[in-house]
Amino acid sequence: MTLDNEAVAEQVFVALADPSRRAILAALASAGPATATDLADRLPITRQAIAKHLALLTEVGLVTAEPGERRRVRYRLRSAPMRVAQQFLAALARDWDGPLDALKEHLDG
């Protein structure tokens, strides 16, 4: 994994560490693109807090802002950064599988 990919994965993990941001991403995943106001209507989070979280999620690349009607901005999920984080975790799991299997065999033997 390249240094750039590691940086992307780290940003994704930081973004996902916050339960409000996870709730926003889950809402976008289940109902599709939405405005900050739409999300505030569905979640127990103020519109101002949602706007702040959406700014960070946009910066990380997990959502993209699309101009909508009457100057309303709709936010849509982007999967590319999440795939980078998944690849990081998969590589980490592969690195652990061998030593853990060897330890298990040693302990069982």
Instruction: Identify the residue whose tokens are 């901005």.
Output: 73
Length of the chain as a residue count? 109
Task: Name the amino acid, one letter, at 71.
Answer: R
Decide if 8 contacts 81 (C-beta within 8 A): yes
Q: Return d(Cα 51, Cα 108) in angstroms, integer.
A: 53
pTM above 0.85, yes or no: no
pLDDT of residue 27: 97
Q: What is the mean pLDDT of each run of 10 residues along the chain (109 residues)?
A: 83 96 97 96 96 96 90 93 91 75 79
Q: Which residues pair with 66 in a beta bridge?
A: 74
Residue 75 three-state SS: strand
Based on its alpha-carbon atoms, the radius of gyration of the chain, rounded to whole angstroms, reads: 18
79-101 residue pLDDT tens: 999 999 999 888 888 777 677 67
Quick one: DSSP state of residue 17? T
pLDDT of residue 2: 66
